[in-house]
Structure 1
Amino acid sequence: MITNFTSMKNFLIVGFPGLSPQYYGPVSALLFVIYLAIVVGNVFILAFVAYERSLQKPSYLVFCHLALNDLTFGTVTLPKIIAKYWFDDSIISFYGCFAQMFFVHYLGSATSFILLVMALDRFIAIYIPLRYPVLITNNIISVLCGFAWFIPLPLMVAVVLHVLTLSFCKSNVIAQCYCDHISITRQACGDDVKIVEVTSLCVAMFCLLVPLAFILFSYISIIGIIMKMSNAAGRKKTLSTCTPQIFITCLFYLPRCFIYVASTVGFSFSLDVRILLILLYSLFPAAVNPLIYCFKTKDIKQMLMKRLQKTKIGVQIKLSYQCKADR
């Protein structure tokens, strides 16, 4: 047990408190597979869009920013919890825990603003399509995504510095799979804890709800435009251009809203279930988003199939040459 701020040298990552040691191996293996899926999927998207010049359009540049965010989030959070279950290495340094907390909340906030840029891109493309090539260019989308990365940066730095002013006189045990704001502030004591919690909540609501308000407005307006179309084929085609963005946005926001609403109405979860739900809504989108890009985005899917077909033909030609040489 830690008794004061000066003696707090490190934190202990517990992960799932109720998990039996006999399951440590399978759980660490599962988390490792999830991490591999995040790395392979998002690196593939980044490399594929960078390689295919025809895909270097505003919509796909936003996908790249989101892929970079997902890749970074998985790299920040998963290796430590994998090491905890695989090598029984649950210790994280005091400032290392604060660094992880910063990236967890900063990347989550940046995702929210990147989704706002994504919704803006689709809103202009469908609401004023004739002006789209002028209003949304690669340079403009890069600037907007730059703002999406920058806006939460000073806010999250302020949040972390605010938490660092607290005195820590409770346990150094983090009952979570990674260091986050709630887990760390629970180990603090003093009159300032409530002020820090309220301030951080206000920052979190700004970073999540302000983008969500515009995202809802954009997609509701888009759906309204689509419903007014008299041509069924046109409706289907227009809706298909928004399907990936809607799926990705729902994966990010719906689980968070579910947790919040469930807590508000008094529906409680056990600690292990709550940690599992937080882990799922944090990491599942990062692993699944690349599949959505590939299978729900027409241009990427067509280009991917074209490349696979060329590779298949190339292999067949090579094999036929080898057969002839053997004869």
Structure 2
Amino acid sequence: MTRVIISPSKYIQGNGELKNLYKHIHSLGDKILVLASKNGIKRTRDTIEESFKNSSANLVFESFNGECSRKEIDRLGEVLEKNNCNVVIGVGGGKVFDTAKAVAYYNNTPVVIVPTIASTDAPTSALSVIYTEEGEFSDYLLLPKNPEIVLVDTSIVAKAPARLLVAGMGDALATYFEARACIMSDGDTMAGGKATNAAFAIAELCYETLLNDGLKAKLAVERKTSTKAVENIIEANTYLSGIGFESCGLAAAHAIHNGFTVLEEGHHLYHGEKVAFGTIVQLVLENAPIEEIEEVISFCLEVGLPVTLEDMGIVKAKEDDIMKVAEVACAEGETIYNMPFEVSVEDVYSAILAADNLGGLYK
């Protein structure tokens, strides 16, 4: 049996760390493509340029169009080739990171990830989630290596809307439960082997950190401040969850998230918000102890994550729509088959409705 744990070459987190960007990445290359949203470029360009002011490196800033699609990856690859760039930096959130990683992979360049929010565990992974132009899940692009560097400036992350940090908690919430399911089923991980004890310990620590510091961190960032709790949650959302999911595996929660991407009513939600509800559905599928389900639902209510279909924007759940979600969640090759028992479309359909009722009961 082969056990594998993978991670970025270096993870850097600290207050004001963006101003040290050049110091951390100068050895990677000298023609750098910086991908970010238009607003992201506006907010970070001065600091990035200041970091490079005494160097001979060239910076090319390019706006991300908003969706990690094949079309956008190809477009940005052309920008990279035109400017002869030899490093890609993704600045912003999950879809920027996944796009930057894919562009770097197809053009054989190193990639650096600079989160300005802590809304997903995408920064550290050797994985890009590809969507259609319409925002529906398409497929996973498995990459041969993790980013060279992940650099998190906590002073920037703390100033982002609190909802984004909470969405990251929703994504991180699934880490332990999906890891546990994969280990019970002896499933293969995203890293290409079986889970290590170290990776599972990280997944457990991720969940414990959420319970201990989640509410405190939310309240702090609502006032645009960074406290020890905020630092801990940023690390949990970004690094602990990233290592935990990739080196232990995904299961039902993320597959159910993928299912919900087909419903237009849920397109306003962030990835982690859908994953949080998917976690509750997974626990229902497992017939987990009620005390555990109560703990997860209570946490979600405490920080403001969805616990019902109505919270997801689905006010009147149509049988056909929920069945479609279940069918996509159970598509061939989906991570739901890492559950330690047989799962059918009907099982998922029933678990979604049961989770909705449970969430409504505790609300």
TM-score by length of 2: 0.23
More helix by share: 1
**Higher radius of gyration, 1 or 2:** 1
More strand by share: 2
TM-score by length of 1: 0.25
More relative contact order in 1 or in 2 (CA 8 Å, sep 6+)?
Answer: 1
